[in-house]
């Protein structure tokens, strides 16, 4: 499915509106796994991240897909709009992540002894004056990984309220740009082996209207760098 921005993947407490809850209503019971309120959920996207999400309808599929994610055979591609000028056309971020000692609700880059391995490959799709459109391919799946990794290299995702570039500068679009009410991150595609046949499956979701409008405005007003 293609998750819209603003919708939780799974509920954090009873009464939360979520992908999991809505699918149970529309499709009936889904495999529970071992975590309450997460029926059918194989992996998650942040509330304000849009895009491709796979959900399991049987216990066998849930276990197979979870194993594929653990063994890193799932290929994930995201698109993001960042503030800043990338030094290179492509690069890796290899920086361990873990819970921020200062802000318990956030993640941060930690030492190898304290954090968990986290790897992100990124490449420039398009450059603008002061901004860039990136394609992102995480090789691990840590909480908030892309958002933290990009902010750590001074390329914070536009409209991200938590993770900013060095110096605390908010990554906002210029005055006059279309409103972007959530962080500009989209799960563009997902590939994984079929739980039963092992055949390769690939799914994609087009860039949503709000991010597309922001890109069109930048092309018009900030030119291609």
Any idea which residues carry the catalytic annotation?
46
Nearest to 193 by CA among 16, 65, 35: 65
13 Cβ contact partners less than 8 Å away, ≥ 6 residues apart: 37
What string of DSSP letters covers 104-169?
A: TTSEEE--TTTSB--EEEEEEEEEETTEEEEEEEESS--TTHHHHHHHHTT-PBTT-SS---TTS-
How far, in Å, CA of 142 to CA of 165, rounded?
19
**Residues with Cβ within 8 Å of residue 31, at least 6 apart in sequence:** 39, 40, 56, 57, 58, 59, 61, 62
Instruction: Phi first, then psi: give them for residue 175, nearest 5 degrees.
Output: -55, 135
């Amino acid at each position: 499915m293609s998750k819209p921005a603003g919708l939780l993947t799974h509920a954090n407490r009873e009464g939360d509106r979520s992908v999991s809850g809505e699918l149970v209503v529309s499709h009936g019971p889904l495999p529970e796994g071992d975590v309450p309120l997460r029926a059918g959920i194989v992996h998650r996207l942040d509330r304000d991240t849009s895009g491709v999400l796979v959900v399991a309808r049987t216990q066998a599929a849930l276990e197979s897909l979870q194993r594929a994610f653990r063994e890193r055979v799932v290929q994930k591609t995201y698109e993001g709009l960042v503030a800043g000028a990338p030094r290179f056309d492509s690069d890796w971020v290899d920086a361990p992540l873990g819970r921020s000692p200062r802000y318990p609700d956030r993640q941060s880059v930690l030492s190898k002894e304290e954090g968990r391995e986290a790897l992100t490959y990124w490449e420039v799709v398009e450059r603008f004056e002061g901004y860039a459109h990136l394609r992102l391919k995480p090789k691990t799946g840590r909480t908030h990984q892309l958002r933290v990794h990009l902010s750590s290299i001074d390329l914070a995702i536009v409209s991200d309220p938590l993770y900013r570039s060095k110096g605390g500068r908010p990554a906002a679009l210029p005055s006059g740009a279309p409103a972007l009410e959530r962080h500009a991150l989209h799960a563009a595609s997902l590939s994984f082996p079929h739980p039963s046949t092992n055949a390769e499956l690939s799914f994609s979701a087009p860039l949503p209207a709000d991010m597309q409008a922001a890109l069109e405005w930048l092309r018009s007003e900030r030119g291609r760098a």
